[in-house]
Structure 1
Amino acid sequence: MRILHVLDHGLPLQSGYTFRTRAILTAQMAQGWDVAAVTGMRQGSAADAAETIDGIAFHRTGPGPLPGLPGEIAALAARVGAVADRFRPDVIHAHSPVIGALASLHAARRRGLPLVYEIRAFWEDAAVGNGTGREGSLRYRATRALETWAARRADHVAVICEGLRGDLIARGIDPARVLVSPNGVDLGLFGAPLPRDAGLAADLSLGDEVVGFIGSFYDYEGLDDLIAAMPALVAARPAAQLLLVGGGPMEAALRAQAAASPVADRIRFVGRVPHAEVERYYSLVDVLAYPRKRMRLTDLVTPLKPLEAMAQRKLVAASDVGGHRELIEDGRTGTLFAADDPAAAARALAALLADRSRWDERRARAEAFVREQRNWSSNIRRYQPVYQRLALAAEGNRTWSRIPSLQH
């Protein structure tokens, strides 16, 4: 089986998007499949080029001759086509945003190749979550319509969670054409959790009741609610501290909010840290907190970070948005609290910190859930029957054109 993946961006850039991509492609190669990837202009490549990172062959897309989004799609379509002509894939697997699907549709149809379109989040909702769009705006509606158009024309659609699948079905996409390939963890990347780094804890003046967040500081992550919860948490648990590792658009505002807090001395920011150092900071944290705000993005999409925390045998506490409810069983594998409610977050965290007798049991259940149900080495098998069916159909009829062309 030969699969050509089409990506917005990939390694060596680091994000939840690239970590999921690396896990999928690495697991597919371990299965014995031939895999290659094309990244779009947002990778930042100065020219069409190729490089191998972590054993994965990446083909970069340089700047196109046309400006704006049409130029971006045209450049990516040309690059996908050129790589497909050399690599000769059985299937083209495009990953969101929809730019990749549009470029890949053109390349796939011209070559009689089947297309799988994988949606990790709807582009219009991601823009709202990142603060670059407004729900219900003309741009939002146009992007939503384009996403639906692409999903209708792909030969199969993959999504990362049931929330996205349900939304697509509500838009009229045939349920039989929508595969759920949930977020997972490459357990091969995680060894035994590091023991507490006492030297780093001393450098940061951290005690033994640490709530932490390690990731990107976007508004939808709800870190302002976590900071707002700290006075009540410290009142209930005087030793409690908050460790924030990472950065992003909200960093300046969050630092200002923390500085004005009556418990400012209990909140630590350390900024971004090298990926190789992240496990040292995980070792300091007792409870990883994910206080995401309630909106379409967080209700529909499951995040990766809580699964990684569970894989490292860390306690997890999260808001009760839909994406978290797909991952966390309240009271068994983690703790859920009301979204957008700092008081509820404080109560949940205080109760969790007070009940150390159940920590080991909960950590073990959470790790077992990831190992048994969210392990990439088994998750990638979900793609196999879809790939095989589509490839056989295309091989049997190279003029195969069940899906309308781009001109329709």
Structure 2
Amino acid sequence: MKLNRPWWQNISLTGQTVTEHIVDDPVQLALQVSRRLPAGSRGALGNTVAKLAGERFPSVAAIGFEAAGERANAERSIDSAVADASLADADFSTKRSANKLAHLADVALSLGDADRAEALIESVPAEARRASWFAVAARIALYRGDHDGAVEFASRHPRNAHLAQRMLGEQAVFAGYVPELPAKVGYSPVKGRVMHVLTNSLPHTSSGYAQRSHSILKSLVEHGYEVEAVTRPGYPVQVGVAWAAGEDEIDGIRYVRLLPARLGQGLRERADQQAALLAEEVRKFRPAILHTTTHFTNALAVGAVARAFGIPWVYEVRGQLADTWASTRGLKALESQRYLEFSARELDAALAADAVVTLGENMKRQLVAGGVDEAKISVCPNAVGSPFIDEPPTKKDARAKLGLDDELQLVGTVSSIVDYEGLDLLIRAVALLAPEYPQLRARIAGDGVALPGLKVLAEQLGIADRCDFPGRVARSEAIFNHAALDVFVVPRKDLTVTRSVTPMKTVEASAVGRPVVASRLPALEELVVDGETGALFAAEDEHALAQTLRGLLDDPERAAEMGENGREWALSTRTWAANAATYENVYERLVG
């Protein structure tokens, strides 16, 4: 396939993305860039930056420490700067002094410490507050979920006009703005054509979301549908792929990129822009059904286009993204303006759609409790296809391929490495077991914002030599990383989001015949039959996890039996072929 690379649009989008990040959150931009570096070099580079910055540039030093996963050192850099006599006695009428505190507050906010950030900016007298102060105050308000406060602060200084415009757009969309398009008279859809509208996709994103989307599209093609996928405007250039083509084709699936020269300013303009760009793709492809996924901004555009063309649309609820947002902000976030409006908009999308698909029974019950008609909800759980349904590699063969010692006792996971996965609990449990099990190792394959901190924790606990962090693995290698383990572990924290959202990784682990040890949470109880396909333990209890692992490490025959039961369960209840039949029923019901 000949790749059409819209270089001019990509260059323009890249410039706009960088500029907006500098205006909206420059510290977060620096951290995002650091997280795109290879996992092996991230820590060393972060420490080098911190060392070079030293006491002269404490904000830069703190960013370096954070990139390296050394949160305590990052916090100490901020504290030492604030405590410095020259800063404490500063004349806040000078621009330099007030800006310095604003920069430190920005760094504190990037560490997730909104209280510290707020205390820093409040120490600046009202008469010394300038553009940078109001910009940080707006970012703190947004972090706390206060859209109205974010708009108010961003609008207080003329130099923050672009930031204010973006804050206003976000405020409007979360408050209920809905884009509208004029009716498209004479539209003639082609029966059997379905367009999926996605947030991201292969090959530029390899998350569970992208894998699920691709598996669904392939299974629909096998059932005789013509499919096309369209990703959100600006993707993948916005995530750093400046060389992206206008289309990608993978396994015969066509992914269309919406790459305008510039994106709309703020979420409201981008909702309108996405609807207009999507309408043009619908005119070209002529689908009979539109199908989109969380979060609700996708649904806004798809709903507008479906109404304009007079065709039905499906909303697939793959997660509770309001809960994901709140998971890093504490219990107060659940009462914030953003959380309440986010949840309301997600429910609006499910109510407006002609059909709803979700991943599990817990998520279905939440939708029904919110007023969504149970009759229009279908459950299509995360599932497996080839190569996971094929005969899996043996543990010995998988370890040989990955260069791992066959005598080791390996416990671990293949996952995105973020805080709510609770992988620090796995490190702590291994530290508890290490004295009794000289061959025990933790192997955590994947990448994410929490990875540097896990490496630091392993060093602090004295088990760095017992922990293997191979980083992000290619999709073709994922099955070997599953199969190489003795026990697959999912130690998720007990949060609103983890209680409802079912992950894909446990199904894949079961499919390759590995026992799964997981936190006892409602969503994971749907995926692990306690005592048969794996074992459940009390969430956030490292001693309970250690004891559960001990039971399987001491009884490998029982562990092997659980793995066999898990494979049988996965192949009988969790395949994309079975899900495709459910999607087909949904589509046939919509188009008659």
Normalising by the residue count of structure 1, what TM-score does the alignment of the two structures yield?
0.90
Asked if structure 1 preserves the Cα contact closer than 8 Å seen for 2:388 and 2:479, the reply is no
2:269 equivalent to 1:78:
no
In 2, the alpha carbon distance for the partners of 1:347 and 1:178 equals 39
Kindly report which structure 2 residues correspond to 1:156-235, keeping only aligned pairs within 5 A, or say none: 156-188=355-387, 191-195=390-394, 196=396, 197=398, 207-235=407-435
After superposition, the Cα gap between the structure-2 partners of 1:217 and 1:53, relative to the gap in structure 1 and judged at 3 Å, is: same
- C-alpha change, 1:290 and 1:65, in structure 2 (3 Å) is closer
Quick one: distance in 2 between partners of 1:78 and 1:48? 20
Q: Report how far residue 252 of structure 1 moved.
A: 1.4
Residue aligning to 1:15 = 207
Amino acid at match of 1:75: Q
**Does residue 349 in structure 1 map to residue 543 in structure 2?**
no
Cα deviation, 1:258-279, whole Å, max 9, x if unaligned, reads: 1011433322222223333334
Which one of 316, 323, 326 corresponds to residue 526 of structure 2?
Answer: 326
Counterpart for residue 196 of structure 2: 5
Residue 110 of structure 1 corresponds to 308
Percent identity reads 35
Unaligned runs of 5+ in 2: 1-191
Question: Whose radius of gyration is greater, 1 or 2?
Answer: 2
Query: Residue 65 of structure 2 aligns with which residue?
Result: none
Q: CA contact under 8 A between 2:483 and 2:513: conserved in structure 1?
A: no
Change (3 A) 1:199 1:390: closer
The alpha-carbon deviation at position 340 of structure 1 amounts to 0.6
8 A Cα contact 1:48 1:61, kept in partner: no
Structure 1 residues 198 and 189, CA gap change in structure 2 (3 angstroms): closer
What SS is found at the alignment partner of 2:446? strand
The aligned counterpart of 2:461 is 261
CA distance in 2, matches of 1:198, 1:2: 43
Residue 137 of structure 1: how far off its partner (Å): 1.7
Query: Of residues 153, 166, 191 in structure 1, which corresponds to 2:352?
Result: 153
Maintained 8 Å contact 1:333/1:366: yes
| C-alpha distance after superposition, 1:4-46 (max 9, x if no partner) | 1111111112110011001111000000111111110362247
Q: CA deviation at 1:187?
A: 3.4
**Residues 293 and 340, structure 1, Cα contact 8 Å, conserved in 2:** yes
Change (3 A) 1:87 1:198: closer
Report what 1:240 is aligned to. 440
Residue 60 of structure 1 aligns to which amino acid in structure 2? Answer: R
How far did residue 135 of structure 1 move?
2.8
Matched pairs, number: 391
- Contact 2:293/2:299 (8 A) holds in 1: yes
Q: Which structure 1 segments of 5+ residues have no match? A: 393-408
How far apart, CA to CA, are the structure 2 residues paired with 1:65 and 1:275? 31
Cα distance between partner residues in 2 of 1:198 and 1:308:
17
Higher RCO (C-alpha 8 Å, min separation 6): 1
Contact 2:413 2:482 in 1 (8 A): no
* 1:38–1:79 Cα contact (<8 Å) kept: no
Pair 125,322 (structure 1): closer, same or farther in 2 beyond 3 Å: same
TM value normalised by structure 2? 0.63
Classify the secondary structure of the residue corresponding to 1:43: coil
Closer, same or farther: CA 199–312 of 1 in aligned 2, 3 Å: closer
1:40 paired residue number: 232
> Which amino acid is 1:103 matched to?
A
Q: Does residue 52 of the first structure (1) align with residue 240 of the second (2)?
A: no
| CA gap 1:15/1:281 in 2 versus in 1, 3 angstroms | same
The alpha-carbon distance between structure 1 residues 372 and 205, as it changes in their structure 2 partners (threshold 3 A), is closer
Q: Going by fraction, where is helix more abundant, 1 or 2?
A: 2
Query: C-alpha separation between the residues in 1 aligned to 2:321 and 2:271?
Result: 15
Q: Partners in 2 of 1:44 and 1:110 — Cα distance?
A: 27
- Cα pair distance change 1:155/1:200, threshold 3 Å: closer
Structure 2: how far apart are the matches of 1:249 and 1:37? 28
**Cα-to-partner distance string for 1:68-107 (whole Å, 9 max, x where unaligned):** 2123322321222112112221111111111111100000
Q: Tell me if 1:378 matches 2:569.
A: no
Q: Which protein is richer in strand relative to its size?
A: 1
Is the contact made by 2:197 and 2:290 (CA closer than 8 Å) also made in structure 1?
Answer: yes
Cα deviation digits, residues 344-393 of structure 1 (max 9, x gap): 0000001011111223322221111111100111112112222112113x
Q: Secondary structure at the match of 2:539?
A: coil
- Give RMSD over aligned pairs: 2.2
Query: Does the 8 Å contact 1:8/1:42 carry over to 2?
Result: no
